[in-house]
Amino acid sequence: MKHLLLTIAAIVCSVSQLYADGAQVRLSDSSCRLFEQGETITISADVTVEQPERLNLTYVVRDDVGNELERRTRRVKVTSSVEGVAPLRVKGLDAGFYSVELLCEGEKVDFHKFGIDPDAVVSLPDGEADFDEFWAAARRELDAVEPCYTLTECEERSTSRRRFYYVEMQSLGGEKISGYYLEPVAEGKFPALICYLGYGSDQWIPDADATAERVEFYLSHRGQGLNKPTNKYGDWIVSGMESEHTYYYKGAYMDAVRAIDFVASRDKVNADLIFAEGGSQGGALTLAACALDDRIAAAAPFVPFMSDFPDYMNMAVWPANALKPAAEQRGIAYEEMLRVLSYFDIKNLAPNIKCPILMGFGLQDEVCPPHTNFAGYNNLAVPKRWVVFPKRGHDVHNESEWYRLREEFFAEIIHKYNNQ
C-alpha cells in the first residue's frame, strides 16, 4: 500500500524568539519532514529584521537518543526579511529520526525533528522464549472468567438512530471494566468499531447520531476512564512491575480482548467487520488486541505507546521518569525491568498481527517518539501503511484529516468484504 505523506498546516512546532533588536529567527519548514535515504538534507533559517543585522546562527543536529552529530555556526548579514538563510547540508545519515536545534547568538531559539526512510528503521523483537505461551495462558485465564455483561440504556443520550448504553463486564482476575456502547436502532448486522483509551484519559462521550450506520464500543479498561473512581493500581505504568504475571498491562491487554468478546457477542454486529482504533496507550491496546485476538478485521492506531522499551528509555522523559525510580525503589535491576516489559512490548506482539494496519504519527512527538512507533510497525507482516503529520507531536487525534483517512481505510475493508 502506498504511504501517505501529509504536510498539514496545523500547530507549528517551532516558535521563533523575538530579540530586543527586533530580529525574529526560526528554522525553515523545509527540513521538518521525512527524507529518502541518501537524500541531502538542507537545514536553514528564516529571519525577520527591522534593520540590517549581523547574526551568529548555529545548527546542532542530534540522533534520536541525543548524541550530537553536527554543530555548525554561520555568521550572516541580514538586510531584510529572508527565508532560507545560512543553509547547512547534511549527508550520510542512516535511516531513523533526528533533531535540529537552532541557536542565535548562542541562545536556543528553535527546534524540530526530521526523519529518514522510517520503513528501514530496525528494532528486532526481543521477546522471551515463553512469550507466546505467556499470552496463551493469559487468554485461557480470561476465558475462564464469566463476562457477565450488563447493559443499562442511557435514555437521555439515545436517539432515533442509535441506542446508547453504559456497559459493565468482568475481565481477567474478576476485574470489573466498563464502557459506552452504541448500537443502531435499525434491524440488521453492522460493522463495529472498538475504541481504546489513552493513558489516564477521561472517557469521551460519543454522539449517538454520528456514524449511526455502525456499532461502536468505547472501552474503559481497568482503573482508567470510567473506572478511575475504583482505581486500585495507582500509577498504572509501574503497577505490579515486579513480574510479568502481576504487571498492570497483563490485565489491561486482556481487557482489550474482553472488549472484542463483548462486541462479537452482540446480535447486531457483523463479526467479520470488527475494527479497532486508539491513540498513545490506546494505540498500544489496539495493536495488542490485534495480536492477541484474530477477530479484528483492520485497525488504525495512532502515536502508539508501549513499543521498544530499551530504546524508549533513552529517548523520552516519560515513562522512564516513572519506571526507573520505581524499579530502583523496589530493588528491581534495570535488565530485569526490561525483561518484564518485553512481554508487553508492541514490537514483540507485532509479528502475531494478522489484519491490515493504518498507523498515524506525529513527527515531532516526544512522548512516543516516531522511532518507537516504527519499532512495532516495521515488525508487522501484513498489509500496512502510515500517515505522517510533520508538524504534529503527540496530538494527531486533533487532526480531522487523520479521521478522514481512517474512515476511508475502514471503508476499503468493508467494500472488499461486500464484494467477495
Tell me which of 365, 371, 395, 397 is the catalytic residue.
365
Spatial distance between the Cα atoms of 373 and 149, rounded to a whole number of angstroms:
34
Angle at 168 between CA 176 and CA 276, to 5 degrees: 100
Q: What is the DSSP letter of 203?
A: P
Spatial distance between the Cα atoms of 228 and 233, rounded to a whole number of angstroms:
10
What's the confidence (pLDDT) of residue 19?
A: 43
Q: Is 97 helix (H, G, I), strand (E, B) or coil?
A: strand
Nearest by Cα to 253 from 172, 191, 184, 347: 172
Nearest by Cα to 398 from 280, 252, 241: 280
What's the confidence (pLDDT) of residue 397?
A: 67
Q: 47 — alpha (psi -120 to 50), left (phi > 0) or beta?
A: beta
Angle at 181 between CA 175 and CA 185, to 5 degrees: 150
Q: Look up 171 and say whether it is catalytic.
A: no
- 356, 275 in Cβ contact below 8 A? no
Tell me which of 110, 394, 395, 397 is the catalytic residue.
394
Spatial distance between the Cα atoms of 399 and 265, rounded to a whole number of angstroms:
32
Q: How many Cβ atoms from other residues are within 10 Å of residue 177's Cβ?
A: 28
Phi, psi dihedral angles at 282 (to 5 degrees): -65, -30
- 410, 300 in Cβ contact below 8 A? yes
Tell me which of 31, 178, 239, 280 is the catalytic residue.
280
Kindly state the helix (H) or strand (E) to which residue 323 belongs, with its residue range: helix 320-329
DSSP string over 32-71: SSEE-TTPPEEEEEEEE-SS-EEEEEEEEEEETT--EEEE
Q: Look up 365 and say whether it is catalytic.
A: yes
Helix ranges restricted to H, 158-313: 248-265, 281-292, 309-312
Give the residue ranges of the chain where pLDDT is below 70.
Answer: 1-22, 397-398
Spatial distance between the Cα atoms of 40 and 90, rounded to a whole number of angstroms:
6
Q: Look up 280 and say whether it is catalytic.
A: yes
